[in-house]
Structure 1
Amino acid sequence: MVIYTRDAEADRVFFRDVLGLAHVDAGHGWLIFKAPPAEFAFHPAEGEPSHELMLMCDDVETTMAELGEQGVEFTRPLTEARWGRVTGFRLPGGGEIGLYEPRHPRAHDV
């Protein structure tokens, strides 16, 4: 997975220091991060298809509080969807990542 951004250094610092993801230094300013467990879901699209990156958590309210204490800007209110509780937050480089607490069975549980 590659995330394109207006400020790669700021986003690297965010993933390293705020999200606390393990990483390796690949040299020349590149930090390669170990991704948390991931799942892929495919949904029908109206119009041009797009992709969305969302991080899963066990308790979205607790995670929001922890990130908020570190100055993370949430871009949308916590909403209830039939598949989970969802919000989103801004990356320093201008991008947005979703955050959700799933209500569906998790692929990592199989």
Structure 2
Amino acid sequence: MINGAHVIVYSRDAEADRTFIRDVLGFAHVDAGDGWLIFKLPPAEVAVHPTDGQTQHELYLMCDDIETTLVTLSAKGVEVSPVTNAGWGSLASIKLPSGSHLSLYQPRHPVAYNLDH
């Protein structure tokens, strides 16, 4: 029945952020027309967290070695934040050309993205 997920990142400079995701992060993509790129994501998982505040959705890119990932991205000119210990994983962010930040983390919890079913 459900065969995938489509994530939308809203941007104040969508063209620059699309170019960044294509050229710097190296994500494969299709052109849906007129340069509107849709990217293939790495394997994914979804979690539902409780909140007493406003509901929201967040996007985190996961990595096996956050320190190496940040060094590699920094060498490409990407502005990276320091790594912090979030308990459930090591957390950092990278700055997109639009000025917004994209979170990265190295999980310390079991992951679901490699399950067979």
* CA root-mean-square deviation: 1.1
Which structure carries more strand by proportion? Answer: 1
Distance 2:58 2:82 in 1: 17
Task: Give the TM-score of the pair, scaled to structure 2.
Answer: 0.87
Q: What is the identity percentage for the equivalent residue pairs of Structure 1 and Structure 2?
A: 59
Report the AA paired with residue 44 of structure 2: A
How many angstroms does 1:95 deviate by? 2.0
- Any residues of structure 2 matched to 1:24-103 within 5 Å, and which? 24-74=30-80, 76-103=81-108
Q: How many pairs does the alignment contain? A: 109
Structure number with the bigger relative contact order (C-alpha 8 A, sep ≥ 6) is 1
Which ranges of structure 1 fall in alignment gaps of 5 or more residues? none
Deviations 1:5-53 (A, max 9, x none): 0111100110000000000112112011101111111111231122211
Distance 2:114 2:32 in 1: 32
Distance 2:49 2:30 in 1: 33
Task: Give the TM-score of the pair, scaled to structure 1.
Answer: 0.92
Which structure 1 residue ranges, 4+ long, deviate > 2 Å from structure 2?
A: none
Query: Any conservation in 2 of the 1:52–1:97 contact (CA below 8 Å)?
Result: no
Which structure carries more helix by proportion? Answer: 1
Which ranges of structure 2 fall in alignment gaps of 5 or more residues? 1-6
